[in-house]
């Protein structure tokens, strides 16, 4: 069986979990608090980051690499479920949007929102835990609107974010937004097309485990589990 070391509030981890669900693959989930820097985990991934996938003795590290690995080993065999487009242009556009979410959106918004509002609450003080930095949160809230408008533009001009069919770009974007939505940081009034697109992804069976995620002492906003808001 596949084993995924993840964190419930890691957008990259959620993107991989959604892909595993869409491909119908069974996986054992192990939640990893990366700040603890467990020796056993660091022996698998010296960078100390999630997600990390183990498959029959192989260790695959990083959301992007894991998604590519799953497509090559599983997706290519499941044509009706494959999340990577067949044509090079389609794959390039899918990867561009994935990169937007896992790199640009992550470094400008998601990483800081999670660190300030979640990680610092869970970490002991001697490891950097404590109250959130209000200046960092102001930056998060200033930056997020730009990303919502861009994703909303994509949702308004296409059936799915990368084109006519559901791809890993949709799952990666939805994974990112789901983390922020859990924290109540998404103003869905920014874009009705984006909201409608998110409802379509959120209603898929692969999304149900994400909606069941809970952070100790921090329940999600009330609409988080509602499929129609």
- Beta sheet of 58-61, edge-to-edge order: 27-31, 2-6, 52-55, 58-61
- DSSP 3-state of 109: helix
Put simply, whether the predicted model's pTM sits higher than 0.95 gets the answer yes
List Cβ neighbours of 22 (8 Å cut-off, separation of 6 or more). 81, 83, 171, 204, 206
**pLDDT tens profile 79-124:** 889 999 999 999 999 999 999 999 999 999 999 999 999 999 999 9
pLDDT in tens, the chain (229 residues): 899 999 999 999 999 999 999 999 999 999 999 999 999 999 999 999 999 999 999 999 999 999 999 999 999 998 889 999 999 999 999 999 999 999 999 999 999 999 999 999 999 999 889 999 999 999 999 999 999 999 999 999 999 999 999 999 999 999 999 999 999 999 999 899 999 999 999 999 999 999 999 999 999 999 999 998 7
Phi, psi dihedrals of residue 219, rounded to the nearest 5°: -70, 160
Q: Compute the distance between CA of residue 196 and CA of residue 181 in angstroms, rounded to an integer.
A: 14
What does the pLDDT look like over 205-216, one tens digit per residue? 999 999 999 999
Q: Report how far residue 126's alpha carbon sits from residue 168's, in angstroms, rounded to the nearest whole number.
A: 38
Crossing angle for the helix pair 168-182 and 11-22, to the nearest 10 degrees? 130
Q: Please give the domain boundaries of the chain with CATH numbers for all domains.
A: 2-77 (3.40.30.10), 88-211 (1.20.1050.10)
């Amino acid at each position: 069986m596949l084993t995924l070391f993840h964190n419930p509030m890691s957008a990259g981890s959620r993107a991989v979990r959604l892909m595993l669900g869409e491909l119908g693959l069974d996986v054992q989930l192990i939640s990893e608090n990366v700040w603890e820097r467990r020796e056993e985990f660091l022996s698998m991934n010296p960078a100390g980051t999630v997600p990390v996938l183990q498959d029959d003795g192989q260790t695959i590290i990083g959301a992007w690499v894991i998604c590519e690995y799953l497509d090559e080993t599983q997706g290519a065999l499941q044509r009706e479920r494959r999340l990577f487009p067949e044509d090079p242009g389609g794959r390039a556009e899918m990867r561009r949007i994935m990169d937007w979410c896992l790199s640009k959106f992550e470094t400008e918004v998601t990483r800081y929102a999670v660190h300030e509002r979640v990680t610092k609450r869970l970490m002991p003080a001697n490891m950097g835990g404590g109250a959130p930095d209000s200046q960092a949160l102001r930056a998060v809230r200033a930056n997020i609107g730009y990303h919502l408008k861009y994703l909303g533009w994509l949702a308004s001009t296409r059936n799915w974010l990368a084109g006519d069919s559901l791809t890993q770009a949709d799952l990666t974007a939805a994974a990112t937004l789901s983390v922020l939505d859990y924290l109540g940081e998404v103003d869905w009034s920014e874009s009705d097309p984006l909201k409608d697109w998110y409802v379509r992804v959120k209603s898929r069976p692969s999304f149900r485990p994400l909606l069941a995620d809970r952070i100790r002492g921090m329940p999600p906003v009330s609409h988080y589990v509602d499929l129609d808001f």
